[in-house]
Each structure stands twice: as C-alpha cells, then as structure tokens.
C-alpha cells in the first residue's frame, strides 16, 4: 500500500489513470463504444421497418395516419428542449455552477416525464381505437393484416425508446444526487458529460422515429 | 486537444433553434404530396438534425480523433447493415431474362 500522500490525487480520479484528462478520454470512448451497439440495436429495428414499409407502403401510410400527430410533434419539441437543458447542465457542470447544474438536471428530468406522460396518453388512445395487435386489434378490412405490422413495429420501437427514457431518468436522478452531494465539480464533471451522451442519443433515436412513424401517411389520406 | 473545452451557451441555443425549425419543416413538408421526395426530405432533415446533435450537443466536433473513429465506425457498420440487407430485399422482385 502506497501512503495517501505519495502523489496528488484529484477527487474522482480512478487509480488506473494518469490524470483526469486521460480518464475523460477513456470514459468518452467507452460510452461511444456502448452507443455504437445501441446504433446497431435500433438500426436492426429500422431495417425491419424499411423492409416491411417497402413491401406494404399503402397499409403503412393508412396505419401511420391513425397516430396522434400533434402528440408526436409536441413530444419531438419536448425532447429537443430536454437535449438543450441537458447540454446546459453539462455547461454548468464544467463551470462548477452547482445550483445551475441542479436546476438544468431537474428541468431535463421534468421534460423527460412530460414526454412519457404524452406517450402514455398516446398508448391509451391507441388502446381505445383498438390499434394494439394481439390485444384488441381492429382495422379497416383492406389493410387489416398488413397494418398490424406497422402497429407492432410502432409499439416495439416507441416502447424500447420509452424504456431508454426511463433508464435515462434513473441516470439523471443519480446525477442529481451526486450534484446535490457535491461529488460533481468543475474538475470532475465527467459523469454529467457521459450521462448527457446517453440522453442525447435517445433524443436522436426519436428524431428518426418521429417522421418515419407519424408523418408517412399525412398527405395520402 | 483540451479536455475541458467549454463552449459559449449561444452555440447550444443556436443549435436548439435550428433543430426546432427543422422539426417544423419536416411536419410541414409531410402534409404535401411530393411522391418519393416526401421520404427523402424527411430522412435528409432527420440526418441533418442527428448530425447537429452529435457534433455540438455531444461535443464530438471537439473530441479526439479516436472518438471520431469510433463514432464513424458505428455509422459505417449501420451502413453495412442497411446496404447489404436492402441489396437482397429490394432486388428480389427483379426479373431475369434469357
């Protein structure tokens, strides 16, 4: 065991790193390696969507037309705004502005909750309108079979996205706790930056989900 | 490359404004029948928005080359997934002659 005073050891620096800069580089790289697996995870679903949409374009347009377009649009704005507050939270963390950091983390979490609330309202609407395959599904006879593919993909993709949002809220709650306790400083803001990468990634997934799910049937029906 | 590269907040507000304008544009365009251009416009705007988020909100523009390589690698592998799968599905109905 080395004595504690053997070398200067900034708070938050793990032993295997020379300095905080190297640690941040490693953390960023590790997070992006994880996000790469996420890109391919959602990419596979977008692939399935593309194949079936190219096979049944009319059924997909008719089914897409049934979604609540204003809710999807509002939710897009809500998520983009939450990405802004997340970026501002990282900025506040970099400057060591603890109070501002806490405010922006709370705002980000609040917007995440608004998103999930609107999503829940949409799922309820789909339930009432009998759009849930395997539960109470019904649709105009012409597209009855193939529209099920659209709704299955809709619930699978938005459901997995919502799950990511819930995990993101958990991460943010943890970051909030660390910020309140003073673990996060201008020197050691890496956890906020890395959590932000996750939050922004989930936003990007929605940036693609929104036009592909909500907007493809707008002009046609 | 400085690790604690701190951007002025106006960068974030500018990117936010562009993202909101793009969202408005993508909704507006969807209500007009442009044929195949609808899908192209929607995806072009979505890719543009995603690039802005990655470069500025996620700070990749200011990251090291190694991070750039990992990000580009992820997108490249997604390209392989899409290109090879579509090269099968989109050509199944092609006629063979002779």
B12 CB contacts (<8 Å, ≥6 apart)?
A: A84, A87, A88, A91, B56, B57
SS3 assignment for A3-23: CHHHCCCCCCCCCCCCCHHHH
Do the domain assignments include residue B72? yes
Do the domain assignments include residue B2? no
A147-193 confidence digits (pLDDT tens): 999 999 999 999 999 999 999 999 999 999 999 999 999 999 999 99
Q: In this predicted structure, what is the pLDDT of residue B92?
A: 84
User: Can you tell me the distance from the alpha carbon of A25 to that of A36, in angstroms, rounded to the nearest whole number?
Assistant: 16
User: Can you tell me the distance from the alpha carbon of A64 to that of A220, in angstroms, rounded to the nearest whole number?
Assistant: 10
Domain carrying residue A52: 33-214
B2: pLDDT confidence band, cut at 50, 70 and 90? very low
B36: pLDDT confidence band, cut at 50, 70 and 90? confident
Tell me which chain A residues have a C-beta less than 8 angstroms from the C-beta of B32: 219
Do the domain assignments include residue A7? no
Do the domain assignments include residue A94? yes
Do the domain assignments include residue B97? no
Do the domain assignments include residue A28? no
Domain carrying residue B14: 9-89
Distance of alpha carbon A28 from its chain centroid, rounded? Answer: 18
Tell me which chain B residues have a C-beta less than 8 angstroms from the C-beta of A83: 16, 19, 53, 57
User: To probe the interface with A, which of B43, B58, B78 has the most A CB atoms within 10 Å?
Assistant: B58
Q: In this predicted structure, what is the pLDDT of residue A220?
A: 63
Do the domain assignments include residue A66? yes
Structure tokens at A145: 């079979």
| Cβ within 8 Å, pair A39-B78 | yes
Do the domain assignments include residue A47? yes
Do the domain assignments include residue B34? yes
Do the domain assignments include residue B77? yes
| Cβ within 8 Å, pair B57-A83 | yes
Do the domain assignments include residue A58? yes
User: The domain spanning residue A209 has which CATH number?
Assistant: 1.20.120.80
Count of structural domains within chain A:
1
Contact A38, A203 (CB under 8 A): no
**Cα distances (Å, whole numbers) of residue B84 to A39, B53, B87, B93:** 17, 27, 5, 16
Do the domain assignments include residue B98? no
Do the domain assignments include residue A52? yes
Count of structural domains within chain B:
1
| Cβ within 8 Å, pair A84-B42 | no
User: For the stretch B27-37, what's the b/e string if a residue is b when 16 or more beta carbons lie within 10 angstroms of its beta carbon?
Assistant: bebbeeeeeee
Q: In this predicted structure, what is the pLDDT of residue A11?
A: 82
Do the domain assignments include residue A197? yes
Q: Which of residues 42-81 of B touch A (CB under 8 A)?
A: 42-43, 45-46, 49-50, 53-54, 56-59, 63-64, 66-67, 70-71, 73-75, 77-78, 81
Residues in chain A with pLDDT < 70? 1-8, 220-221
B55-78 confidence digits (pLDDT tens): 999 999 999 999 999 999 999 999
Quickly list DSSP for A109-124: HHHHHHHHHHHHHHHH
B5: pLDDT confidence band, cut at 50, 70 and 90? confident
């Amino acid at each position: 065991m080395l004595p504690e005073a053997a070398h200067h050891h900034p708070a938050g620096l793990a032993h295997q790193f020379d300095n905080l800069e190297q640690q941040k580089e490693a953390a960023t790289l590790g997070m992006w390696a994880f996000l790469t697996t996420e890109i391919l995870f959602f990419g596979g679903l977008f692939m399935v969507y593309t194949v079936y949409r190219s096979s049944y374009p009319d059924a997909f347009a008719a089914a897409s037309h049934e979604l609540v377009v204003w809710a999807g649009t509002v939710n897009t704005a809500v998520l983009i705004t939450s990405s802004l507050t997340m970026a501002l939270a990282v900025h506040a963390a970099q400057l060591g502005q603890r109070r501002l950091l806490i405010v922006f983390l709370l705002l980000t979490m609040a917007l995440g909750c608004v998103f999930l609330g609107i999503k829940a309202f949409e799922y309820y609407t789909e339930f009432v309108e009998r759009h849930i395959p395997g539960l109470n599904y019904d649709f105009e006879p012409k597209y009855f079979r193939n529209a099920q593919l659209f709704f299955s993909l809709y619930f699978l993709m938005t459901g997995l996205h919502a799950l990511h949002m819930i995990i993101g809220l958990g991460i943010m709650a943890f970051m909030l706790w660390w910020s309140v306790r003073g673990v996060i400083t201008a020197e050691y803001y890496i956890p906020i930056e890395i959590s932000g990468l996750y939050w922004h990634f989930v936003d990007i997934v929605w940036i693609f989900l929104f036009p592909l799910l909500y907007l493809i049937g707008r002009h046609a029906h | 490359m400085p690790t604690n590269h701190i951007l002025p907040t106006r960068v974030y507000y500018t990117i936010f404004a562009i993202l909101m304008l793009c969202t408005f544009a993508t909704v507006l365009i969807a209500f007009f029948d442009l044929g195949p251009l609808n899908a192209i416009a929607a995806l072009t705007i979505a890719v543009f928005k995603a690039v802005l988020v990655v470069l500025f909100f996620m700070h990749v523009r200011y990251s090291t080359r190694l991070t750039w390589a990992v990000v580009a690698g992820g997108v490249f592998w997604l390209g392989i997934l899409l290109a090879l799968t579509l090269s099968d599905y989109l050509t199944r109905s092609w006629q063979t002659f002779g």
